[in-house]
A and B are shown apart, each in its own frame.
Chain A
Amino acid sequence: MRHWVRTIWNTRGLARWILLAGLVLVVAFVVMAVLAPWIAPYDFNQTRVDGDKLPKLAHPSGEHWLGTNDQFFDIWSRVVWGARTALEVIVLSVLFSILIGVPLGLVSGFIGGWADRALVFVMDSLYALPSLLLAIVFSFLLRDALGGGIVAAALSLTCIYIPQYFRVVRNTTVSVKQSVYVEAARAIGAPPTTIMRKYLFGNVVQSVPVIGTLNAADALSTLAALGFLGFGIQPTEASEWGYDLSRALDDAQAGTWWPALFPGLAIILLITGLTLVGEGLNETLNPSLRRRRLVPVRMPAMGPSDHYGALPTPGRGPGGRP
């Protein structure tokens, strides 16, 4: 972990800026999600203040910054609460799919044989299907068992992403399994669980953070799509941007722009943030992409100190560097 932080810190050039821009966006949404009760002027399903109904489809104004929608909701409050919903679902679904996909891929790749082949075939077939279609089917099935809440939505997304982790982890396992140090471990009598845990795991999870962040971006767009189709989180459970957009459809036909514009912008900004973090991580953590970026980093270290003293970064350096 510490090693990663330092690698990222030492990277220069575009990759660093991509990563920083993405982090700023994501952190902004995390702050919004955590502080939602204090930031949002109204509750996510609040339509009345002191017994008076909020206005319907009110223009953005000082009172309602982003206006109100056709359900008498304050749109700014919906956007803020929506950040909480989105992040909860994203974190849960990515966590679930890593927890299932990584061990499955590791064991399958390590053991090999017909079970591995069969699993690969099933995962590849699942991967071939449109992810939205799978998500619709899973939410359809989970509706009866779990209702239309955050956990149900997260689980329907989980099922889409398991094949990706499975594939990557399984393929790395298969190639790493052949290496000399694993053979050496086997020769000194290490049992399979030890080999998997101590020798393979660390090598195999390298690419998981990158896939994780990119999947998070994808999970958000799928969540919004499910909500837009009416199969996501039910409006009584939480505020969800995709559902709000589906409510905005008819208003848009009538030329009313504010119920549609703002939830959509929130989706785009968070997806862009997550994608940038993913791309940035990929370019900083992936050695084959990183090498080029690292060359200019070595130069300042060897150069005269006064020339580089003007750089803004060293001020914060000591915290990160031993």
Chain B
Amino acid sequence: MSSSSGGSLARYIAVRLLLVIPMIWVLLTIVFVLLRVAPGDPVSAAVGGKLSEDALDTRRHALGIDRPLIVQYLDYLGDVVRLDFGHTISDNRPILDVIRDQGGATMTLTIGAFLFAILIGVPLGRVAGRYRDTATDAGIRIFGVVSYAAPIFWVGIMLVLVVVKLFPGWPTYDIASVQTKFLVEPKTHVLLLDTILAGDGEAVKDVLQHHVLPCFTLGLLLSGVIIRLVRVNVIQALQGDYIEAARARGIPERQVVRRHAFRNALVPVITVIGLQVALTLSGAILTERTFNWPGLGTELVQYVTARDYVAVQGLVTFFALVVVIVSLLVDILNALVDPRVRY
């Protein structure tokens, strides 16, 4: 069994990897077509009005956007393969630097959000599935619907209002206090890790406190999805023949739910959590704006406002790569966990 299943797993991963390449290529082409072929001149959009026509031409030449489109296209693909996303027009920063400096904040935000989402969503979903069609179930389902219907930034603002009222002094915006940012030396570009590496307990506490509200807000959004999923899975698992068999053997209902139904219900959750990467990214952009969070979403918003084509193109390319790679990793993880996926 081991050799054949190992072989099929390897083949599955290989096929999946091969499928990723055209996917990335199509996405890159779409991004290029949208941002380069569509009408609109990046240079005059970003710095037009401030420079003379000659200076604008020099800039255009320096960016290489006066060359034929096909050359630009191949150049762009080549650059992305080498993980070079270009330089921003408005402040001439390498986009890779933007990603490195600001990506950490977005990363800790989303990880924290997932922790909250699991902490909220899994138990609630389990209870709702276990006590299906009762008042508890209805209440939890309504919570799930509302957490989806409520705009995440509005939820964030409401939480800020509550916190400002009940816990004055608790940080409600930014990733750290000015002091911490000033004192902690950047090493890993992930502020939380930097404070831990610096061994500064106060700073770690400060950064963690700043994380609570934004992570909780984004986590609420994601928990709705998890609740719905865990609920349906628990209900489905409870209808399985093996549950009937477990009950027939006289195993107490609590144990049936916990040991037999719940565990099997969790397997698909891994997949779906991974597939929520698009929702998470959208949510992160909005959460960052709400809490003035110095992450990639904030950067994207600023560069869009500055009408910086190259920066927008670079960041969108990066987001697209993240989406594809995360879904690839989730598929592989899922194949490892669930042998049926590999067929």
Q: Which residues in A have some Cβ–Cβ distance to B below 8 Å?
A: 121-122, 125-126, 128-133, 136-138, 140-141, 143-145, 217, 221, 224-225, 228-231, 242, 245-246, 248-249, 252-255, 257, 260-261, 263-264, 267-268, 271-272, 275
Contacts and interface: CB of A to CB of B under 8 A. Distances in A.
B149 A245 contact: no
A257 B35 contact: no
B278 A130 contact: yes
Contacts of A271: 149
Which of A125, A217, A255 is packed against the most chain B CB atoms within 10 Å? A125
Nearest to A141: B38
A15 to B, nearest CB: 15
A257 B38 CA distance: 42
Contact of B158 (A130, A136, A229, A261): A261
A272 B144 CA distance: 12
A141 B35 contact: yes
B34 interface: yes
A16 B22 CA distance: 46
Nearest to B297: A229
Nearest to A228: B153
A257 B154 CA distance: 11
A132 B151 contact: no
Interface string B18-29: 000011001100
A126 B30 CA distance: 8
Contacts of A130: 278-279, 281-282, 319, 323
Which of B22, B146, B158, B282 is packed against the most chain A CB atoms within 10 Å? B282
A138 B161 CA distance: 33
Contacts of A133: 281-282, 285, 316, 319
What is the predominant secondary structure among interface residues of chain A facing chain B?
helix
Contact of A255 (B30, B161, B316): B161
Interface in B15-60: 22-23, 26-27, 30, 34-35, 38-40, 45
B81 interface: no
Interface of B: 22-23, 26-27, 30, 34-35, 38-40, 45, 145-146, 149-151, 153-154, 157-158, 160-161, 164-165, 172-173, 278-279, 281-282, 285-286, 289-290, 300-301, 304-305, 307, 312, 316, 319-320, 323-324, 327
B161 A224 contact: no
A144 B38 CA distance: 11
B139 to A, nearest CB: 15
A129 B285 contact: no
B286 A229 contact: yes
Contact of B304 (A129, A140, A224, A261): A140
A261 B278 CA distance: 27
Given A242-B151, A264-B157, A264-B158, A230 B278 contact: no
B279 A125 contact: no
Contact of B164 (A128, A141, A252, A264): A252
A129 B278 contact: yes
A37 to B, nearest CB: 27
B286 A225 contact: yes
Nearest to B149: A271
Contact of A141 (B34, B300, B324): B34
Contacts of A263: 154
Q: Give the top 9 A-B pairs by smallest Cβ distance, nearest first.
A: A264-B154, A132-B282, A130-B278, A271-B149, A130-B281, A130-B282, A125-B26, A260-B157, A252-B157
Nearest to A256: B161
A228 B151 contact: yes
A137 B173 CA distance: 26
Contacts of B26: 121-122, 125
B276 to A, nearest CB: 10
